[in-house]
Structure 1
Amino acid sequence: MVSFARVVLPMLTLGLIFTVPQVASAEFLSNNGSGGYYNKSTGQSYSYEFELWTNDNNTEYTLKVWRSPDYPNQSAFKVRRFTSAAEALKYFDSNYTDKRCNLWASEGVCSKSSL
């Protein structure tokens, strides 16, 4: 007859090996800032805040964007992932700052202003 220790202990050991959870990945704040633009056709100013988070091995970046009055007490209204910090910051500049006005400069929609 096979002993309890020779059968059950190896099975328990294998069970533990397969059920140990993977190490959790952490995110770290790597950059934050603000920007905005003024729309001449509507007369409205828009201002935004951002946080750029990275995982612990710098392979994925998460950009979180808020309208300035909502920051930091509300949830970000835009969350998007990128493979580089430069790509994320370029996205913010192109979509939420006066640099976006360069796209519409010929139509006179925006004028640059400091917010």
Structure 2
Amino acid sequence: MEFWWLVAFGEGDRLDQLSEPTYTFVDRQQAVYVPGKNNRCVMKWDRYAKEGIVVAGGQGEGSALAQLANPRGVFVDSLDRLYVADTNNDRVMRWSKGATQGTVIMGGNGVGDNEN
């Protein structure tokens, strides 16, 4: 089995840095998707890449469709659609490949507390 390593250079918002990364996902091409809490985006690091690319968010913290607030869990489906658990906005978003904004597919209506 072949291994490759993702190397980031300190905490920050440059494309070769990460900021409080959480819950990574590795796709079939061995690209690594990393949500960053502090830079409010999801970055994709292709195999052997020296820097990542922003594939969701990156437009500051907020609730607009191009923004994320504390992205956490990520998943990529077989059609290369990215799903992001956007925890501070209490929603799950779907980003199509190359999209500049996502679509809310669950939540987005505030914190739920209904016991039913």
Q: What TM-score, normalized by structure 2, do the two folds share?
A: 0.33
Larger Rg: 1
